[in-house]
A and B are shown apart, each in its own frame.
Chain A
Amino acid sequence: MGWRPALRPYLLIVPALLLTCGILYPFGLGLYYTLFDFSASKPQPDLVRLENYTTVFTQGAFWNSAWVTVLYAVGAAAAETVLGVSVALLLHRSSLVGRVLEKILILPLMIAPVIAAIIWKLMLQPSVGVVNHLLRPVGLGGVQWTDTPAGALLSSIAVDVWVYTPFVAILALAGLRSLPTSPFEAAAVDGAGRWYTFRRLTLPMLWPYVLVAVIFRFMDSLKVFDIIYALTEGGPGDSTVVLQIRAYLEAIRFQRYSFGISYTIVLWAVVYLAAMVLVKHLGKIQRKAAEVK
């Protein structure tokens, strides 16, 4: 064999290798920085090893942010899944209306989340916002949507749901359209009811698609920054300061670089572990779905 064919496999992995380096280099550098006390006021920092992490974990602020992040991610991903699958089922039943609505449904996905948050911030404004204006006839025109901790968190989740439910719906719809028809025909012949068919056939076969959507949305929601920052800046109090916002404040606003990066590394670890669990679960679900088919 000549040297060119022998070299070909190695050349083919060069792009992947470069990509890997491009990912690993900043990541490694970030990780390295967390071992130091590096801030604007300490441009020549001391090696503090794992002190930044111990400080992070002993801070009440971290646990508050971690709790808010989890609440947000679970709330947003759950609501988007339920709504997205419901919308997909409705669209799947009516093909003509479904096709028209599909085009409209995708609109929020074309808006940058930060812009969506600003639009919603105006709409939720208590005195001039359209939401309170619409609720006024039923006596709910004075709601201070983002002035309370619960209201601010729920409003942020609502904006996330508004932006990303179509994403789940589109994935679920694609899944529904790719399901084999024969199991449903057999169920119809056997006289199975709608609920039974949905529970025993549609849902198990659709689960792999739904779970892919859940994985994407859960991961993204854990990393949320733009929607919350534009809507509440993390307030009132610390009620919507998720880990990303905490990291941004520490690293950029307060210029404690190492400490801010430590927050992002912790967040990365959480996202990575959650992704591993969910992907493993996805494999099992896929195998079960294949058995139903």
Chain B
Amino acid sequence: MDTHAHDRRRFLALGAALAATPLLSACGTGFGGGDGKSDGSAADDVTGSFDWKREKGTTVKALLNKHPYTDALIADLKSFTERTGIEVEYDVFPEDNYFDKLTVDLSSGRASYDVFMLGAYMVWQYGPPGWLEDLGPWMRNSSATAAEWDQADFFPNLLQADQWSLKAGAPLGQGGQYALPWGWETNVVAYNTDVFEKLGLRPAETFDELRDIAGTIKRKAPGAGFDGMYGIAVRGSRSWATIHPGFMTMYARNGLKDFTVEGGKLTPAMNSPEAVAFTRDWAAMVKQGGPPSWTSYTWYQCSSDLGAKKAGMLFDADTAAYFQAVEGAGPASGKIAFHPGPKGPDGSLATNMWIWSLGMNARSRKKSAAWLFLQWATGKEHLRKGAIRHHHIDPVRRSIADDPAYKDKMRHLPGFLDTFETVVDQTKIQFTPQEQFFDATTSWAAALQEIYGGENAESVLNGLAGDLAGKVG
């Protein structure tokens, strides 16, 4: 009996030791994936004359977000395969889940996807851990890059937006090229021409006018035959995406900053007296003329409300209005016009941008083929086709923006081309690049919701700034 008990104890001890082994080994092996970095770029391995067929027979895996730009890409994939002999497998996820999927996949250290869509802000999050391939060496290698790719044809501010030194607060346009601009959006005001005509309104030239017009539409439009129409659609969900379109654009036009940078140290500036006043006014505008249930509003709702004649104006990406303005899109199509939006007190039309970019996984084992794909997808031929035959608008290349066929296609949208040309050179990323961008802007959106709910703007923004100071400083 004793022996038996002894055996049982020994067995249990052995079992416990076996159970603990993986844990102990995990302690020793460190954290997820190892660094896997090498000093040299894989681009250096590509030599000889450039050849589109050099990776024939390879399959590249792409992770894509559900978007009209993606539809244009998928519709043209056959021409890429014909040109290169490379097959492309892809997964498409809706935007709500897309970045979580991408983040988890990249942080796992796997190379499930060789290429993917990302925004320039994501470079600030994915760049420092070394998840993104620096495309600079690929671009500079004439054996790897076709002459017709023509880097100089990109709008310079777009190419620079994906370039960063990985140092918090350092300006964009220096350091590695961590993604390539593929499609972009400038944030402007789109409005329903019918309601403006009927109420005798003109697009706002100042922020005060914009607030007045938003309130006027909400009060008067329902009585003028626009049932349930409110003034202005802007995003309001508790997400970073609420801050970057209309809000950040108007914030920047008022000469306001998210952070100040001194000696590489970031100090939150969203609680400066001017920033507090502006934020209070923005929340008041939403309260007076914004959508019901604003705190859940994403760009989907904003865009569809403009299209459904529920919103008199939209201050968001020009593409969000474009998709509603095109023929057959919805009740408001043909009745949507574009305007650069209110100027700042000094006449500023500084505009925040969003870039859909394409990046390469630093752990990809098919970098040469992935680079050919990136070249093709950001090349003149595909992008021209996407802009003219599909809805891949807001060209990242000047040659396409100047193309008569593109201009002919866009000309029927009132104010679109004028607006685009007015703001294109003043559109850039207005945020300070830093790794905690998503935390800062999500908390900023939460603060905006609290102010909208009636909390004191100054104390909310002081709290936000105090919170962020410890994280980004």
A contact set with B: CB distance below 8 Å:
10, 17, 20-21, 24-25, 28-29, 32-33, 36, 38, 40-41, 43-45, 61, 121, 125-127, 142, 144-149, 152, 232-238, 249, 252-255, 257
Contacts and interface: CB of A to CB of B under 8 A. Distances in A.
A254 B293 contact: no
B408 interface: no
A25 B129 contact: no
B22 interface: yes
Contacts, number: 116
Which of A17, A144, A147, A249 has the most C-beta atoms of chain B within 10 angstroms of its own C-beta? A147
A24 B32 CA distance: 18
Which of B19, B33, B435 has the most C-beta atoms of chain A within 10 angstroms of its own C-beta? B19
A43 B442 contact: no
A142 B291 CA distance: 12
A29 B20 CA distance: 10
Contacts of A40: 107, 125-126, 128-129, 435
Contact of B23 (A25, A121, A144): A25
A235 B11 contact: no
Contact of A36 (B31, B35, B442): B31
B237 A233 contact: yes
Contacts of B228: 127
Contact of B19 (A20, A146, A232): A20
Nearest to B240: A253
B269 to A, nearest CB: 21
A237 B128 contact: no
A182 B447 CA distance: 62
B106 to A, nearest CB: 9
Main secondary structure, interface of A, reads mixed
Interface string B99-124: 01001100100000000000000000
A232 B107 contact: no
Contacts of A236: 238, 295, 446, 449-450, 452-453
A38 B128 contact: no
A43 B31 contact: yes
B436 interface: yes
Contacts of A29: 23, 26
Interface string B331-375: 000000000000000000000000000000000000000000000
B129 A41 contact: yes
B238 A232 contact: yes
B295 A45 contact: no
Interface of B: 11, 15, 18-19, 22-23, 26-27, 30-33, 35, 100, 103-104, 107, 125-126, 128-130, 228, 237-239, 292-296, 310, 435-436, 438-439, 442, 445-447, 449-450, 452-453, 455, 467
Given A127-B228, A237-B449, A17 B19 contact: yes
Given A10-B11, A32-B27, A40-B125, A147 B310 contact: no
B221 to A, nearest CB: 13
Contacts of B436: 254
A263 B130 CA distance: 26
Contacts of B107: 40, 255
B32 A126 contact: no
Given A17-B15, A29-B26, 6 more contacts: A25-B22, A43-B35, A126-B292, A232-B238, A254-B439, A254-B442
B296 A255 contact: no
Contacts of A152: 295
A17 B452 CA distance: 54
Contact of B292 (A36, A61, A144, A233): A144
Contacts of A125: 292-293
Contacts of A249: 439, 442
8 contacts: A10-B11, A40-B107, A43-B130, A44-B35, A147-B292, A237-B446, A237-B447, A255-B125
B30 A44 contact: yes
Contacts of B31: 33, 36, 38, 43-45, 257
A126 B449 CA distance: 17
Given A43-B35, A235-B446, A238-B446, A147 B100 contact: no
A149 B453 CA distance: 8
Nearest to A20: B19
Given A235-B449, A254-B438, A255-B125, A147 B293 contact: yes
Nearest to B436: A254
A10 B10 CA distance: 12
Contacts of B103: 252-253, 255
- Going nearest first, the 6 A-B pairs with the smallest beta carbon separation are A235-B238, A237-B450, A126-B292, A236-B449, A40-B129, A233-B238
Given A25-B19, A41-B129, A144 B238 contact: no
B435 A235 contact: no
A41 B453 contact: no
Nearest to A40: B129
Contacts of B439: 249, 253-254
B445 to A, nearest CB: 8
B18 to A, nearest CB: 8
B129 A146 contact: no
A33 B26 CA distance: 10
Nearest to B126: A40
A29 B126 CA distance: 24
Contacts of A234: 238, 446
Nearest to B467: A61
Nearest to A24: B19
A44 B295 CA distance: 38
Contacts of A252: 100, 103-104
A123 B11 CA distance: 58
Nearest to A61: B467
Nearest to A258: B31
A235 B26 contact: no
A61 B467 CA distance: 10
A126 B18 CA distance: 58
Contacts of B452: 236
A38 B107 CA distance: 12
B292 A235 contact: no
Nearest to B463: A60
Nearest to B293: A126
Contact of A127 (B19, B125, B310): B310
Contacts of B435: 40-41
Nearest to A31: B23
Contacts of B446: 234-238
B296 A232 contact: yes
Nearest to B466: A60
B30 A237 contact: no
B293 A41 contact: no
A238 B126 CA distance: 26
Contacts of B23: 24-25, 28-29, 32
Contacts of A41: 128-129, 435
Contacts of B310: 127
A43 B23 CA distance: 19
